[in-house]
Amino acid sequence: MIRSPRLLPYGITLDELYIPNSSTLRNKGLAEVLYDTELIERWGSGIEKIQQHCLDGRLPEYTFEEYQGFQIVFRKDVYDEEYFHSLNLNERQIKAVIYVKEKGQITNKKYQEICDTSARTSSRGPADLVSRRLFEQKGTIGKGTEYTLIRQRRHKGAIYAPNKS
């Protein structure tokens, strides 16, 4: 967690932090010193860097919170066996999620291979994971379909993906 005792600048909401925007300086003198000493590269790039480091490290999405100050909360990887069992996933689905976590994507054919299932079963498993908002389907139904993990975080015992529209 990174915490600041101050609130966000007036007029900026937590939701706006998830979208690239311009920087609002609170202390121009301090910002110039940090820039001159190369501790920051450009105004407004901090959140983008945090996001990129989380993506590179395959970490769940961070959250912004504002309560008696402002903080960014980082979470550990939510995709573990205990969590899968709490979602009542079957062993094939758990294998598939672990595979996608390691490899980045899975096809119906690969699901069929690693789970030793029929073609019919291999399309139901990923479809169920899409409906549970664990997988995102890319491509149309058939050979070109790939499934990837939706970057998520646990939120009050449920799966919650931030709305970034």
Domain 81-160's class? mainly alpha
70-73 β-sheet, strand order: 2-4, 70-73, 63-66
Q: What is the mean pLDDT of each run of 10 residues along the chain (165 residues)?
A: 84 79 75 84 76 77 84 80 86 91 89 88 84 86 81 42 42
pLDDT at 49: 80
pLDDT at 142: 67
Domain boundaries defined on the chain: 2-73, 81-160
Query: Full-prediction pTM beyond 0.95?
Result: no
Across 37-156, the runs of DSSP E, i.e. the strands, are 63-66, 70-73, 106-107, 135-138, 146-149, 153-155
pLDDT at 22: 62
pLDDT at 161: 40
- DSSP letter string, 45-70: -HHHHHHHHHHHTTPPPPEEEESSSE
Angstrom distance (rounded) from CA 62 to CA 155: 12
